[in-house]
Structure 1
């Protein structure tokens, strides 16, 4: 009897703490009414997120988010990876619904956009706690940096494909890159079995196939396989992705035209 009573008390305490935490979140951390603007840190190519959040009666009532470069150009329909700017409206609505940047779930193909969105939203809400409605200062463009051996010089326009060898389980990675105006504009990567069937929902380690879209997005953002960061639980996929990406880009630069990858033009 005493053991049952003790268990009930513990459960009630846990429930009470959960209700308190939820109430604190709903309270909006004592946000002051007003309009607050903040920016994320710029990425290595100078793109940053800028957010405008309106607080009314202590709650987020309106969110406007966009991504710009340091020359003031906005990502639009001509951006080579449209999933990024195409996700802005959804992220805005998710923040209004959740009232918490950390509760904004990532959209497939727009993970890095989500990271910048959350960064900017947290900064704006910090200003809301302080009642600071000032706008952020202009971001000065960084001086150009030419890295030794940097990829991208001399890529020829066209479509390039490459694939890995079969692994111990009979799977291989295959990539198709599109180069336009000397830049990577499209990336398609899949891991397939010997019959050419992609890994799908039934694959026992879903982190692998789930990471493919994010690795594609990173390569489009960075334009360099060596700057594609590993995703937890998908290290082998990352290694295969980098291997075939470098091979395909070697073809694009004319360094490796005799391997199993191929180039198409026109």
Structure 2
């Protein structure tokens, strides 16, 4: 009787460890480079995108920016950056790298703080990064994730 109890306990322990190991692998990020972008430009002619790189299951780099139809990045548009900085106290040249660094540091989009003056962009980045991790990086699928743009002209 005692022998059966020991065998049952050992079998249950092995089963529990197997289940935990299997669950952990489903949530691990696969190494590679991943990109998410909106399917069209917003009302101002910019299309947001997020790129992350994963090595050894950890995010090692993250980039967030916007591109226009001419291929120009919002973070490099001096006129746009000056106007936004004057109005809100920050600019894409400042908040884009700050958001990327925060994701690398925290490894979890929900723990990334919003940047004051760039609330909409902060929210978009966090949403894109989460979907990119869940739908692509956990599966090792390096095709670009297209997300529906909600800020469109009607």
Q: Same fold (TM over 0.5)?
A: yes
Alpha-carbon deviations, 1:130-183, whole Å to 9, x = none? 11101356x9xxx975xxxxxxxxxxxxxxxxxxxxxxxxxxxxxxxxxxxxxx
Alignment match, 2:130: 122
Q: What stretches of structure 2 of length at least 5 have no aligned partner?
A: 1-23
Q: Indicate how the Cα distance of structure 1 residues 56 and 132 shifts in structure 2: closer, same or farther if over 3 A, else same.
A: same
Q: Indicate how the Cα distance of structure 1 residues 116 and 69 shifts in structure 2: closer, same or farther if over 3 A, else same.
A: farther
Matched, 1:61 2:69: no
Alignment match, 2:140: 131
Alignment match, 1:31: 29
**1:104 aligns with one of 94, 107, 112:** 112
Q: Quick one: distance in 1 between partners of 2:140 and 2:30?
A: 6
User: Counting helix residues as a fraction of each chain, which structure ranks higher?
Assistant: 2
Normalised by the length of structure 2, the TM-score is: 0.64
Query: 5 Å matches for 1:1-266?
Result: 29-40=27-38, 42-75=41-74, 76-79=77-80, 80-82=83-85, 83-85=90-92, 86-126=94-134, 127-136=136-145
Q: What stretches of structure 1 of length at least 5 have no aligned partner?
A: 1-23, 146-266
**What secondary structure sits across from 1:120 in the alignment?**
helix
**What secondary structure sits across from 2:30 in the alignment?**
coil
State the Cα distance separating 1:84 from its structure 2 match.
Answer: 3.4
Moved over 6 A (4+): none
Larger relative contact order, structure 1 or 2 (CA cutoff 8 Å, min sep 6): 2
Q: Indicate how the Cα distance of structure 1 residues 119 and 47 shifts in structure 2: closer, same or farther if over 3 A, else same.
A: farther
Q: Indicate how the Cα distance of structure 1 residues 33 and 69 shifts in structure 2: closer, same or farther if over 3 A, else same.
A: same
**What secondary structure sits across from 1:131 in the alignment?**
coil
Larger Rg: 1
* Count of residue correspondences: 118
Alpha-carbon deviations, 1:6-35, whole Å to 9, x = none? xxxxxxxxxxxxxxxxxx7xx992111111
Q: Indicate how the Cα distance of structure 1 residues 144 and 95 shifts in structure 2: closer, same or farther if over 3 A, else same.
A: closer
